[in-house]
A and B are shown apart, each in its own frame.
Chain A
Amino acid sequence: MPILEVDNIHSYYGHIHALKGISISVKKGEIVTLIGANGAGKTTTLRTISGLMKPRHGHVRLEGEDLAPYKPHEIVYKGVAMVPEGRRIFTRLTVMENLEMGAYTRTSKPEIEQDLDRVFALFPRLKERRRQIAGTLSGGEQQMLAIGRALMARPRILLMDEPSMGLAPVLVEAIFDTIQQINKEGTTILLVEQNALMAFSIAHRGYVLQTGEIVLQDNAENLKKNPMVQKAYLGME
Chain B
Amino acid sequence: MLRMWRQRVTLTDLVIWGLGILILVGVVWGSIQTLRLGKYTLAIWYDLIITGLALGGVYALIALGYTLVYGILRMINFAHSEIFMSGAFTATFAADALYQAGWWNSYPVLSLLIVLLVAATVSATIAFSVERIAYRPLRYAPRLVPLITAIGTSFFLQYTFRGLYGSGQKGYPDMDIFQGAIVFGDVRILKTQLVAIVGAVIMMVILFSIVQYTKIGKAMRSVSEDKETAALMGIDVDRIISTTFLLGGISAGVAGILFLILFPVAHFFMGFVPGLKAFTSAVLGGIGNVPGAFLGGVLLGLLESVGPSLFLDGLGIPAPYQLKDAIAFTILVFILIFRPTGILGERMAQTKL
Which residues in chain A, 129-153, are within 8 Å of chain B measured between CB atoms?
Answer: 149, 153
Interface stretch (choices B111-119, B141-149, B216-224)? B216-224
- B55, CB-defined interface residue at 8 Å: no
User: In the complex, what residues of A have CB within 8 A of residue B222's CB?
Assistant: 90, 93, 101
A88 with B235: CB separation less than 8 A: no
Closest to A100 in B: B218
Confirm or deny: B325 has a beta carbon within 8 angstroms of a beta carbon on chain A: no
Contact B228 A52 (CB under 8 A): yes
**Which residues does chain B contribute within 8 Å of A82, judged by CB atoms?**
232
Selected from A71, A91, A92, A102, the residue in CB contact (under 8 A) with B233 is: A102
New A-B pairs, 7, CB < 8 Å, besides A72-B231, A76-B231, A84-B229: A50-B232, A73-B233, A76-B232, A88-B226, A97-B218, A101-B233, A105-B234
- In the complex, what residue of chain B is closest to A50 when comparing beta carbons? B232
Distance in Å: Cβ of B137 to nearest Cβ of chain A: 17
Whether A92 contacts B236 by the Cβ 8 Å rule is no
Nearest opposing residue in chain B for A87, CB measure:
B229
Instruction: Find A90's partner among B221, B231, B236, B237 (CB 8 Å cutoff).
Output: B221
| Residues of chain A at the chain B interface (Cβ within 8 Å) | 50, 52, 71-73, 76-77, 81-82, 84, 88, 90-93, 97, 100-102, 104-105, 149, 153
Contact string against A for B residues 297-333, beta-carbon threshold 8 Å, 1 for contact and 0 otherwise: 0000000000000000000000000000000000000
A88 touches B229 (CB 8 A): yes
Please list the residues of chain B having a beta carbon within 8 angstroms of any beta carbon in chain A.
215, 218-219, 221-222, 225-226, 228-237, 350, 352
Residue numbers in A under 8 Å from B215 (CB-CB): 100, 104
Closest residue of chain B to A149, judged by CB?
B233
Known: A101-B218, A104-B219. A90 touches B225 (CB 8 A): yes
Contacts of B228 on A, CB cut-off 8 Å? 52, 72, 88
Chain A-chain B contacts (Cβ-Cβ < 8 Å), number? 63
Identity of the chain A residue whose Cβ is nearest the Cβ of B237 in the assembled complex: A73
B231: which A residues are within 8 A, CB to CB?
52, 71-73, 76
Please give, as numbers and ranges, the residues of chain B lying within 8 Å of A153 by CB-CB distance: 233-234
Closest chain-A Cβ to B350's Cβ sits at a distance in Å of 8
A97 to B352, CA, bound (A): 15
**Is the CB–CB distance between B218 and A92 below 8 Å?**
no
Q: Is chain B's interface secondary structure helix, strand, loop, or mixed overall?
A: helix
Pick the contact of B235: A81, A92, A97, A101 (CB < 8 A).
A101
5 smallest A-B Cβ distances: which pairs? A76-B234, A105-B234, A72-B231, A88-B229, A104-B234
Inter-chain CA distance A190–B226, complex, in Å, is: 23
Question: What is the CB-to-nearest-CB distance from A175 to chain B, in angstroms, rounded to a whole number?
Answer: 19
Closest to A47 in B: B228
Are the CB atoms of B226 and A93 closer together than 8 Å? Answer: no
Q: In the complex the two chains form, is A73's CB within 8 Å of B236's CB?
A: yes
Q: Could you write out 29 A-B pairs with CB less than 8 Å apart? A: A52-B231, A52-B232, A72-B228, A72-B231, A73-B231, A73-B232, A73-B235, A73-B236, A73-B237, A76-B231, A76-B234, A81-B232, A84-B229, A88-B226, A88-B228, A88-B229, A90-B221, A90-B229, A91-B225, A92-B221, A93-B222, A97-B218, A100-B215, A100-B218, A101-B219, A102-B233, A104-B215, A149-B233, A153-B233
Among B218, B229, B234, the residue within 8 A (CB) of A77 is: B234
A101 and B219 alpha carbons, distance in the complex (Å)? 7
Whether B232 and A72, one on each chain, are in contact in the complex, defined by CB atoms closer than 8 angstroms, is yes
Chain A residues whose CB sits within 8 angstroms of the CB of B221 once the complex forms: 90, 92-93, 97
Nearest B residue (CB) for A152: B233
What are the residues of chain B within 8 A of A72 when measuring CB–CB?
228, 231-232
Closest to A146 in B: B229
Q: Is the CB of B352 within 8 A of A84?
A: no
Complex formed: what's the CA distance from A116 to B232 in Å? 19
Q: Which of A90, A105, A149 has the most CB of B within 10 A?
A: A90
CB distance from B89 to the nearest CB of A (A): 37
CB neighbours of B232 from chain A (8 A)? 50, 52, 72-73, 76, 81-82, 84
Q: Which residues of B contact A101 (CB under 8 A)?
A: 218-219, 222, 230, 233, 235
CA distance A101 to B228 in the complex (A): 13
Which of A76, A93, A101, A102 is packed against the most chain B CB atoms within 10 Å? A101
Distance between Cα atoms of A72 and B238 in the complex (Å): 12
In whole angstroms, how far apart are the Cα atoms of A100 and B237 in the complex? 16
A-side contacts of B219, CB under 8 Å: 101, 104
